[in-house]
Structure 1
Amino acid sequence: MTDTPPELSIVLPARNEAPALEKLLPVLRGQFPQAQIIVVNDGSTDDTSALCARHGVQEVRHRYSIGNGGAVKSGARAARGELIVFMDADGQHDPADIPRLLARLGEGYDMVVGARDGSSQASVGRSLANRLYNRVANYMTGQQIADLTSGFRAVRADKFREFLFLLPNGFSYPTSITMAFFRAGYGVAYEPIVAARRTGRSHIRPLHDGARFLLIIFRVATLYSPLKIFAPVSGLSFLAGLVNYLYTYASNGRFTNASAVLFTTAVVVFLMGLVSEQITTLLYATAARERRDDQGA
């Protein structure tokens, strides 16, 4: 049995994960008897509801599936604890790792992420994709990000709720909340974990979800500093236009349409980056204003 702080809530988004929950819920209840355990039933058609009742955990039920991120947001709203642990309901995450995440929060961090090692990735393709996401995020933030997409994390509830309006309903919520915390200047730490093979079939479909995961890269940019993406693209377009102009002027003595298009593209892309930067700033200003209003209420 773990000495659980009474302000702890454990949130498990679940859609048709009854076989894994059957094993996981009694372990969580045994290790954290004082914690508020919340299963967000995201439109399940199995006996998830019966399992919640049998094991004495709170169920937040969606009449139909709205996505993993939507379930996380519902769980965050229902959580009473000052600290929230989010973990997958498919058996990948070990409850024994929770005290280590909470201990890092106790060091003064605002969010601690369970960072998976290479052996924890479901496939080579998923591992390569996660490495790419991490490197892009490292570039954007200037910080070392060990695992951008891990769903196993401990957070301070008040700070997490500041950014609920930014979070998508799909699987890219971990990316969004990580970048939001870095942008707001909140402390983020990474704690190494080993994730087990999930119980049952994954809800992620590579062919269907591949394009959506590519959008994670753009979410990283737009949620932190859009100009870090737009400015290099603009510069490359301008450089290509300049090279083309010098070549055509030297060979034909004229300014071509191709150069004009490249120069125009450079200006338009740069202006798009400026506008995106202002929108991002306004989003975080809104979050900060709402936080001050809540603190003054």
Structure 2
Amino acid sequence: MSKYTLVIPAKNEYEHLGGVIYTLQKNVENQSIKIIVVNDGSTDNTSNLCEKYNVIEIKHNYSKGNGAAIKTGLRNVDTEHVILMDADGQHNPDEIKKLIKKYEEGYDMVIGARSRNDHASLFRKYANIIYNKLTTWIVGHKVKDLTSGFRVANTEKMREFIELYPNGFSYPTTSTIAFFRAGYTVGYERINVEKRRGEVGSHINLWKDGVRFFIIIFKIGVLYSPMKIFFPLSMAHILIGVLYYLYTFINDGRFTNMSALLLSNAVMIFLIGLVAEQITMLIYRK
């Protein structure tokens, strides 16, 4: 009986998915791994490929997003452990055994950590460095790769937070933060990645990716400990408000409305952070 199920979200990845599945099935050590391909509204021959290699296919009638495909896969896993990886040929299936070996040392999740010499664009490299450093500060543990989609985890623990996972591409961030927040053990294993293929990831939209970058940064803090984000913002408003008051008092001998606004904003930001902290505690009450 299989101990592991491999979930691969796929949208129009026919050219690369066949090589991934073939490599998995020819590896004797991985014969006991059940494979689920979540076909996220593909318009290519992904279904024929799944039939050819005799793997389980779960189809979305239309594209719901990478995260939604992962959630569908998780809901259909019936083994104790789950492996998640991309279908675009970026992840080497032969490295699954490295992740499993590390995972079986007693971790709740092991993430494949990419090196800085991978094939990501310069923008994404620097973004990932900032993600990792910021998250390390927030959670108090070394985070080597926050956004890697190649990981092994306990199935039930992954499903605990399934409602938190977005339907888009930031489920790795959310799941990593959720595991740290819940007190589960997270490990890393160094992996090599191939150049990202196809149109996905080949172009960088500075506006779209820049906004997504800051949203993820904010989400990291709010998911783990909102006060680590809101408290510094509150203190910044207090400092600016006091300094502006001193400036106007020395120059004009009065207390201005702007100073009052800054100080009142500081109180509001602090209270919002406090409420968010309580909500976060309820989310992770288990």
SS at match of 1:130: helix
Query: 1:172 touches 1:213 (CA, 8 Å); kept in 2?
Result: no
* Residues 251, 209 of structure 1: alpha-carbon distance in 2 compared, 3 angstrom cutoff: closer
Pair 1:148 & 2:146 matched: yes
* Residues 131, 246 of structure 1: alpha-carbon distance in 2 compared, 3 angstrom cutoff: same
Matching of residues 6-155 of structure 1 within 5 Å: 6-31=2-27, 32-155=30-153
1:295 aligned residue: none
CA drift of 1:165 comes to: 0.8
Query: 2:5 touches 2:36 (CA, 8 Å); kept in 1?
Result: yes
Query: 1:92 touches 1:195 (CA, 8 Å); kept in 2?
Result: yes
Deviates more, 1:269-278 or 1:48-57: 269-278
CA drift of 1:71 comes to: 0.5
Which string of whole-angstrom CA distances, capped at 9 and with x for unpartnered residues, describes residues 13-42 of structure 1?
Answer: 100000001211111112222211011100
Kindly provide the amino acid, as one letter, of the partner of residue 261 in structure 1.
L
* Residues 205, 123 of structure 1: alpha-carbon distance in 2 compared, 3 angstrom cutoff: closer
Query: 2:82 touches 2:154 (CA, 8 Å); kept in 1?
Result: yes
CA drift of 1:210 comes to: 3.5
Which string of whole-angstrom CA distances, capped at 9 and with x for unpartnered residues, describes residues 152-184 of structure 1?
Answer: 000011111101011100001000000000000
Q: Normalising by structure 2, what TM-score?
A: 0.95
* Residues 121, 235 of structure 1: alpha-carbon distance in 2 compared, 3 angstrom cutoff: farther
CA drift of 1:258 comes to: 1.4
Aligned-pair identity (%): 49
Query: 1:115 touches 1:191 (CA, 8 Å); kept in 2?
Result: yes
1:253 aligned residue: 253
Query: 1:111 touches 1:154 (CA, 8 Å); kept in 2?
Result: yes
Deviates more, 1:260-269 or 1:249-258: 249-258
CA drift of 1:121 comes to: 4.0
CA drift of 1:264 comes to: 1.0
SS at match of 2:163: helix
Kindly provide the amino acid, as one letter, of the partner of residue 26 in structure 1.
Y
1:291 aligned residue: none
* Residues 205, 270 of structure 1: alpha-carbon distance in 2 compared, 3 angstrom cutoff: farther
Extract unaligned runs of 5+ from structure 2: none
Kindly provide the amino acid, as one letter, of the partner of residue 197 in structure 1.
K
CA drift of 1:6 comes to: 2.1
SS at match of 1:178: helix
1:126 and 1:77 mapped to 2: Cα distance?
Answer: 30
